[in-house]
Structure 1
Amino acid sequence: MVPPSLREDLVAPLPSRARAGPCDEAENGSYPALVLTIDRAVPADFPRIAELTVGVYEGEDLVSPEYVPQLADVAGRADRAELLVARDVTGRIVGSVALVLAGDFGEVTRSPDEAAFRMLAVDADVRGQGVGEALVRTCLDRARAAGRAWMVLSTGERMTAAHRLYERLGFQRVPERDWAPRPGVDLRVYALQL
């Protein structure tokens, strides 16, 4: 059980445009209410987080096969980041993200004033219901509470739904910080002053 001080209960409906990438918009532009609890992941959650993250990134053809082991290495990520999960009312994990407040797992961070998040994934069954936005907002709140001045992130060029989410939340492109972890994999950098 996660102590109440480390939990944030979010009750939807969130704004009608709330959605997380990669996702499809609802046909009518409105989204059903979804009740979420966002909390820290525990080791028992790791298999579901791996399944979800790999499934989303592979299913959308967003990663090369060489990157899949990193997506599946949830225990390794837990050693370098705060893993957050979104649970529906049944307790099922429907989204996850790795929040980086310090250390080298952020790769895109350049100073102790910067936080980052990585590997945002939302279950296809609940896309368009604000899960991704709730996870990002929780990352922003936790980074502010930790005294960080900036949130930065890198994202693939084809993750256009995620780009729309970040821009709607006020993130700005920082093209001078774009980078490539390996040839042919170009990542865009976004930043938001906290």
Structure 2
Amino acid sequence: MDEAKTRECLSLMNNYGFAIGEAYAVVYGGENYEDVRAKKVKHEKSFALLEKKNSEWPMPKVIWDLAPEHWHLSMDGHDVQSFRLKFPDAAVMSVKTSQLSNILAAHSRRLGDPFSPNYRSKSAALVVHLQEGGRVSPAMTLLDAGGLHVVGGNHRLGWAMYLKQEEIPILIRSLDRKEIEELLKT
């Protein structure tokens, strides 16, 4: 790091409370100041929410983003292109949450609610996002002999189910639609 960039990083850290990684991302052009600051504020709000009792949490409804260009956000590690390569026949399917619970593979079922220790921090981030008017893409699912597997978006799916949203969208492979429809009837 050259001296000027070091000073700029230190300024962001000292004057704005940025962590070294955040300051580095701004100084070296990976992200702009406004985006990093917005993420930091969301993180602080999420952290504050973790300090509250479950009963004090807001309960924002999940607002779904059904735009195909955002489906990759259902899964970590994908951009639009890699998602489309892996799931070229992805489609949205609307399901009743009560029926969905019955056909999920055992490891895709929640062992607790969104406030359970394993889910609490991601639930807090999701709640803050939803409170600020954010939308989320549906959970990505894959079907095999073991049932319907949630391969991305489990926290948002878990939050919607916790809120007892009657009907929710999921992402499926088009070729699995008929079989999923049959499973949902049972």
Same fold at TM > 0.5:
no
Q: Which structure is higher in strand share?
A: 1
If you compute each CA radius of gyration, which structure gives the higher value, 1 or 2?
A: 2
The structure with higher relative contact order (CA 8 Å, sep 6+) is: 2
Q: Normalising to structure 2: TM-score of the pair? A: 0.31
Q: Which structure is higher in helix share?
A: 2
Q: Normalising to structure 1: TM-score of the pair? A: 0.30
